[in-house]
Amino acid sequence: GAGVSQTPSNKVTEKGKYVELRCDPISGHTALYWYRQSLGQGPEFLIYFQGTGAADDSGLPNDRFFAVRPEGSVSTLKIQRTERGDSAVYLCASSLMAGGGTGELFFGEGSRLTVL
């Protein structure tokens, strides 16, 4: 596709359940990022992939959060034992390259997660 695609666009789950959020980046973009945007706040960095490996996962709030990008393209953010505080919009972004690149991130529309 032309842009970053995120699915599902909306997810409602119950406290304690497991959730997966998927991100399909722009074709050819080697860098992929996950951000979380809580109500009334700006996006907050979670994790960054360069290719298949997580180059920086220091933004993940705790060990219930995990992300993978096994083939260097699509990424999945996984949240175990969801809590009400996990409710937010999860944004995915990709860029042509990190480090020496232009630094422009292309964001998807986000996946809105609601934990009841």
List of residues contacting another protein (CB under 8 A): 3-4, 31, 33, 40-45, 48, 55-56, 59, 91, 93, 95, 98-99, 101-110
Kindly tell me which of 33 and 65 has the beta carbon lying closer to another protein.
33
CB of residue 95 to another protein, shortest distance in Å: 6
5 half-sphere exposure, CB direction, 13 A CA radius: 8
Kindly tell me which of 14 and 40 has the beta carbon lying closer to another protein.
40
CB of residue 15 to another protein, shortest distance in Å: 27
Which residue carries 């505080």 as its tokens? 85
Could you give the CA distance from residue 68 to residue 10 in angstroms, rounded to a whole number? 20
CA angle 12, 17, 20 (to 5 degrees): 70
Kindly tell me which of 31 and 82 has the beta carbon lying closer to another protein.
31
CB of residue 27 to another protein, shortest distance in Å: 17
Instruction: Find out whether 98 and 114 touch, Cβ atoms under 8 Å.
Output: no
- Collapse the DSSP code of 40 into the 3-class scheme (helix H, G, I; strand E, B; otherwise coil) and give the result: coil
CB of residue 38 to another protein, shortest distance in Å: 10
